A and B are shown apart, each in its own frame.
Chain A
C-alpha cells in the first residue's frame, strides 16, 4: 500500500486510457467505415442499375428514332409523299440532262476555267 501511495497509483493514468480510447475509436471507426463502405457499394450498385436502365431506354429510343428515320427515308414512303403532296419531284429525264464534254488541255488558254482544268489534268 505504501508503495502505491508513494507512486500515486490512484492518479489517472493517461497512457492506457488513451490507448483504450484509440482502440475503441479504431474498432468503432472500422465498424462505421465498414458499414459506410458497404453502404457506398450498395449505393453505387443502385446508381449503376439506374444508369443501365437509362442507357437501355436511351438505346431503345435511339433505335426507335433510327427506325423511324429509315421508314421516312424509304423510297416507297418518299414516292407516296411526292404523289400525296403533289410536289412534282422526280429524277430528271435524259432530255433534261445536258452532258458537258471536257475540252482538251489548253496550256496557252487565258480562260480561267480552262486553265484550272489544265492544272487539274497536269496533277
Chain B
C-alpha cells in the first residue's frame, strides 16, 4: 500500500516534471523556431541601429587660402511629447530660455498630438517635434546638464517606480538631437554674390554654393551598431563602419583682400553718388581669372532676410542684370573696323558738329565735334563718329564682331542666374540699327560680358572664358580637380589689339572722357560709358547707367577693372561717376599686388644703394612719404 502511494507520488512528480519540460520545450521551439523571424526583427530593432554619418560640407577658400565659407556641426533639438506627458508646461519653462524660443510657443509644440489612426483604430502620436535648428554643440551640452538636474515639478522624495522611470525619460530621453550643419561665412557680406547661400536643407541656392553643390556636399557614411539596454554602443559588435567622405574644398580665383578693397570703394561711391546699385569686377585679362566681383546693395549670407528688399539685394547684378552698354560698346565697332582694315587710327570722320541725320532720325553727340580721327572718336566718345565707322564696317561684319566678342550668349561663368544679354538677329535689324548699335544702343549686355570684351582687347585679341574656380581639393589639400584658363576665340588680331590699346590710352588723357581714371604711376587704357535708361519706352534724360572699364599697365595689362553704376546722382557721366572709383580701386589693388609701375621714374640701383644690400635686387622698397 505504501509502495503504491509512493509510486503514485513519484509518478505524479515525474509527470509534472515532464509536463514542465514539455511546456518549456514548446516555448523554446515557439521562440526559436516558430516565431524566430518575427522575434529576431524585434530583438534587432531593440538593439541594432544604423547611424548615418553626415559628411562635412566643403569649405570655400579664396586664391590665397583664406576661408570664405565653412561648415560646423550643430544640433537640431527635437522632443518626443509622448515621453513628456502632462509636464509640457514645465518642460517649456525650462527650455524656453535655453533655446531662446517663446515659452507659449514651446508649450504648444510639446503637447501630445495624434497624427493618424493605425490599422486597429489606435491613435499614432507625433513623437518627433523639431524645437530648434542650428543649436551649437556646446549649447546642447549645457541644455543636457540643465535638463538632468530638473525635477519638472515632481516631488523627488516620494516617487514610485513608474514616476522615477517617467522622470528619467523626461531628463534624458524626451529631448534629443539630430545632427545638422551650420554654414558660416566668416567675412559676412564679403563676396556674398559669388559665394551664394544655402537653403534650410543645406543645399546651395545661389552662387558657387549652388553651382558646385554636389562637389561641396560629399558622400554620406554609415555605421551599423548594437546598443546595450542603456542605449550605449557596444563597439565590439560594430558591424559596418563606412566613414563619410567630406565635401571637396573649392578654391576660388577671388582674392579676399582685393575683394575687400573693391567693396569698400563701392561703399564710398555708393555714399557719394547714391545710385540704385553699383557693381565692379576685377579680372586678370591674360587668364580671365576674376579676382573680385562685387555688387551693392549686398547681403550677409549668415543672416538672410525675408523681405523684398533683401531678395533684391541677393541678385548678382554683374551677371543677371542687362542694360544697354552705351559708349563702352564703341570698342566693338572700332576694333572690328580696324581688324578688317576698313579704317586706320589716323583716318578722319566728319562728326557733323554734333548733329547727324541718318535713316530719318537725328543722332546727337554730347558735344559738337568737327572732323575727328578714329583715335579721337574713341578719346572723345563721339556717337556720330562711331556710327559712321559702323556704317563703313557694314551690318554683317558688325554683327559678326558683336557675336565674336561674346555678346548675346552667356560667358559661361560658373554662377547660376547668368543671362546672355540681347543682340538682335541680323534679319531683325532696322535701317537705324547700324547707326545706333555702334554707340551701345539696341543691344543689352551684362557688366561681365562688357568687361570680358575689354579683356579681349587687353589680351592681344583673345577672348577668355571668365574663371572663378581655380581648383577643387580635399581636406588634406590634395588637388582633386584643377581648372585652367580657357581661350574662347581670337576676336581681333594682336596688331589690332595694340592699336585699340593706343586709342584707349587717350581716353584717360586730359582731352579724354575719363581723365579722372588716370593713375600716377601706371598708364591706363579704358573706355567710359553713359547710357540713358529706358523709362516708359523712351530714353530718359534723367536716369543713366554710368560705367568705366579700364586696364593697366596698358601695354602689359595685369588687371582689368569694370565699374558700373545704375542711376548715379551728383554727376552721371561715366567719366565723372565711375572713373574715380576705377582709380581708387586700381591704386589700392596695384599697391596690394605690387604691380610694377610703367610710368614711374625709376631710380638706378647704383644711385639708390651704393654698396647696398643684395636682397633688394628686383624688388620694391617702401620709403616714408614726404
List chain A positions with a Cβ less than 8 A from chain B. 41-42, 44-46, 48-49, 60, 63-64, 66-67, 70-71, 73-76, 79, 91-103, 111-113, 116-117, 120
Cα distance A73–B256 when bound, in Å? 11
Asked if B600 lies at the interface with its beta carbon under 8 angstroms from chain A, I say yes
Residue of A nearest to B259 (CB): A75
A64 and B322 CA atoms in complex are apart in Å by: 41
Which of A60, A92, A120 has a CB less than 8 Å from the CB of B73? A60
Q: Is B36 close to A, CB under 8 A? A: no
Smallest distance from the beta carbon of A50 to chain B beta carbons, Å?
10
Question: What would 15 A/B residue contacts be, using CB atoms closer than 8 Å?
Answer: A44-B236, A45-B234, A60-B73, A63-B72, A67-B184, A74-B190, A75-B187, A79-B260, A97-B591, A97-B620, A98-B608, A100-B603, A102-B618, A103-B604, A111-B611
In contact, A100 and B619 (Cβ under 8 angstroms): yes
Decide if A113 touches B186 in the complex (CB within 8 Å). Answer: no
A96 touches B623 (CB 8 A): yes
Give the residue of B591, B606, B626 whose beta carbon is less than 8 angstroms from that of A103. B606
Instruction: Quote the shortest CB–CB distance from A95 to chain B (angstroms).
Output: 6
Nearest CB to that of A45 among chain B residues?
B235
How many residues belonging to B are interface residues under a CB distance threshold of 8 Å? 54
B90 within 8 A of A: no
**Contact (Cβ within 8 A) B588 A91:** yes
B621 CB–A CB distance under 8 Å: yes
Main SS class of interface, B: mixed
Task: Judge if B164 is at the interface, Cβ distance under 8 Å.
Answer: no
The 5 closest A-B pairs by CB, nearest first: A45-B235, A70-B67, A75-B260, A92-B622, A91-B591
Take A45-B235, A49-B235, A79-B264 as given contacts and tell me if A98 and B190 are in contact as well, using a CB distance cutoff of 8 Å.
no
Give bound CA distance, A76 to B264, whole Å.
9
- Say whether chain A's binding surface is mostly helix, strand, loop, or mixed: helix
Complex alpha-carbon distance, A102 and B620, angstroms: 11
Taking CB atoms and an 8 Å cut-off, the chain B residues in 194-224 that contact chain A are none
Asked if A102 and B605 sit within 8 Å, CB to CB, the answer is yes
**16 additional contacts (CB under 8 A) given A49-B232, A76-B187, A98-B620:** A44-B236, A45-B235, A48-B235, A49-B233, A74-B186, A76-B190, A92-B591, A92-B622, A94-B590, A94-B600, A95-B625, A97-B597, A100-B617, A100-B618, A100-B620, A101-B602
Please determine whether B625 and A70 come into contact, CB atoms closer than 8 angstroms.
no
In Å, the complex CA distance between A113 and B608 comes to 13
The reply on B485 being an interface residue by CB < 8 A is: no
For B608, list chain A residues within 8 Å (CB). Answer: 98, 100
B605 touching A103 by the CB < 8 A rule? yes
Tell me if B624 is interfacial: C-beta within 8 Å of chain A: yes
**Are the CB atoms of A102 and B624 closer together than 8 Å?**
no
Query: What is the bound-complex CA distance between A95 and B606, given in angstroms?
Result: 20
Inter-chain contact A96/B624, CB cutoff 8 Å:
yes
Do B614 and A117 have beta carbons less than 8 Å apart? yes
| Set B592, B600, B611: member contacting A91, Cβ < 8 A | B592
Most B CB contacts (10 A, CB to CB) among A63, A71, A96 go to A96
Interface status of B520 (Cβ within 8 A of chain A)? yes
> Does B612 count as interface, using CB distance less than 8 angstroms?
yes
Is B605 in contact with A100, judged by CB distance below 8 angstroms?
yes
Contact present for B612 and A98 (CB under 8 Å): no
Alpha-carbon separation in the docked complex, A45 to B238 (Å): 9
Q: Which residues of A are found within 8 Å of B588, using beta-carbon distances?
A: 91
Q: Which of A42, A71, A93 contacts B186 (CB 8 A)?
A: A71
Q: Which residues of B contact A96 (CB under 8 A)?
A: 622-625
Interface positions, chain B 572-626, Cβ under 8 Å from A, are: 587-588, 590-592, 596-597, 600, 602-606, 608-609, 611-614, 616-626
CA distance A60 to B139 in the complex (A): 14
Contact present for A94 and B587 (CB under 8 Å): yes
Contact B190 A75 (CB under 8 A): yes
By the criterion CB–CB under 8 Å, are B236 and A42 in contact?
yes
Cβ-defined contact, B617 with A102, below 8 A: yes
B188 within 8 A of A: yes
Shortest CB-to-CB span from A77 to chain B, Å, is: 8
* Contacting residues, chain A, for B261 (C-beta < 8 A): 75
Q: Flag if A98 contacts B592 (CB, 8 Å).
A: no
Q: Is B257 an interface residue (CB 8 A)?
A: yes
Contact B66 A94 (CB under 8 A): no
Q: Assuming A42-B236, A64-B72, A95-B520, is B609 touching A100 (CB within 8 A)?
A: yes
